[in-house]
């Protein structure tokens, strides 16, 4: 048995004050008879109870003060001996233990909910990424639809003369479409399948009349959208697209012709 723990429990003080039940008193008397350390401590308590303690207080008053200022001093129970069972004193407050349990519970719940929050945040980010990807796809499809609608409008416009330009030996798979308004003479181009121009270069459209040098019809932005270029007058027979330096050239680089097409019945 750990006699020091037993002494620290305050049971002997409670015995000296007569606050134990008969069964508890019998346990104390039995242990005091077995352990000299307990008997000596109880004897000192009995001696002190006859005189002054702590600056003039008798033992009962001193213990009363201890109960008020240190309310957990008498709740310790000796647990290392199966033969000893000490009841908690009724005057002992359970609040310190309750507060500790509440603190532990609060910390555990904080950890639990923090983990749930992190999991939820990860799911939100995942859903957000999926939604962003879906929104991008929808936007791209809507743009494609708008492009097709615009292109179809030019095909259906009876004022337009249409020229499909096919790929040359430089890019056999390339093609583009030109729409030339007979009334306004405005030229529109759809760069449907031109390879991306190298850095520092740009495609340029040329209008060609029979027996004359190609006329600049405008530089082309690398974009799937239909572009309005320059206004072209005259009896154009052919349209062609060449690769030029960025900003275009005044004279066509005919050896860099990528697509070309003839205007029929005009």
Give per-residue pLDDT as tens, 217-266.
999 999 878 899 999 998 999 999 999 999 999 999 999 999 999 987 55
| Chain centroid offset of residue 96 CA | 40
Neighbours of 17 (CB within 10 A): 14
Give per-residue pLDDT as tens, 21-75.
888 888 888 888 988 888 888 888 777 665 544 444 444 554 454 444 444 444 4
Distance (Å, rounded) from C-alpha 5 to C-alpha 26?
19
- What pLDDT score was predicted for residue 95? 60
- What pLDDT score was predicted for residue 44? 83
- What pLDDT score was predicted for residue 147? 66
- What pLDDT score was predicted for residue 38? 82
Give per-residue pLDDT as tens, 197-208.
999 999 999 999
Give how far Cα 220 sits from Cα of 161, 203, 248, Å.
19, 5, 9
Could you tell me what percent of the chain has a pLDDT over 70? 70
- What pLDDT score was predicted for residue 165? 94
How would residue 80 be classed by pLDDT, with cut points 50, 70 and 90?
Answer: very low
66, burial (CB in 10 Å: exposed 0-12, middle 13-18, buried 19+): middle
Token pair 């072209």 is found at 232
Q: Which residue has the higher pLDDT, 214 or 24?
A: 214
CB contact set of 239 (below 8 Å; sequence gap of 6+): 163, 165, 178, 180, 205, 206, 207, 208, 217, 260, 261, 263
- What pLDDT score was predicted for residue 203? 97
Average pLDDT of every residue of the chain:
77
Token pair 């609060």 is found at 106
The yes-or-no verdict on residue 188 having pLDDT over 80 is yes
Q: Which residues pair with 242 in a beta bridge?
A: 204, 257
Q: Which residue has the higher pLDDT, 213 or 145?
A: 213
Q: Do the beta carbons of residue 186 and residue 227 sit within 8 Å? A: no
The yes-or-no verdict on residue 161 having pLDDT over 80 is yes
- What pLDDT score was predicted for residue 219? 96
């Amino acid at each position: 048995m750990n006699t020091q723990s037993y002494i620290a429990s305050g049971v002997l003080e409670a015995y000296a004050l007569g606050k134990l039940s008969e069964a508890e008193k019998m346990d104390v008397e039995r242990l005091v008879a077995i352990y000299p350390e307990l008997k000596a401590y109880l004897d000192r308590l009995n001696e002190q109870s006859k005189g002054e303690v702590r600056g003039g207080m008798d033992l009962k008053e001193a213990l009363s003060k201890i109960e008020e200022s240190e309310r957990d001093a008498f709740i310790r129970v000796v647990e290392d001996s199966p033969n000893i069972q000490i009841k908690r004193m009724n005057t002992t407050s359970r609040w310190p233990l309750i507060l500790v349990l509440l603190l532990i519970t609060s910390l555990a719940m904080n950890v639990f909910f923090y983990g749930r929050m992190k999991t939820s945040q990860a799911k939100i980010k995942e859903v957000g990424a999926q939604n962003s990807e879906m929104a991008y796809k929808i936007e791209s499809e809507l743009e494609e639809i708008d492009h097709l609608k615009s292109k179809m409008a030019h095909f259906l416009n009876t004022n337009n003369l249409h020229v499909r330009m096919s790929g040359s030996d430089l890019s056999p798979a390339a093609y583009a479409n030109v729409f030339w308004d007979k009334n306004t003479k405005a030229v529109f181009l759809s760069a449907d399948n031109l390879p991306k121009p190298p850095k520092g270069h740009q495609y340029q459209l040329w209008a060609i009349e029979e027996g004359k040098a190609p006329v600049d019809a405008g530089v082309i932005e690398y974009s799937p959208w239909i572009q309005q270029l320059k206004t072209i007058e005259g009896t154009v027979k052919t349209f062609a697209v060449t690769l030029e330096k960025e900003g275009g050239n005044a004279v066509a680089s005919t050896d860099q012709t990528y697509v070309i097409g003839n205007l029929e019945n005009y």
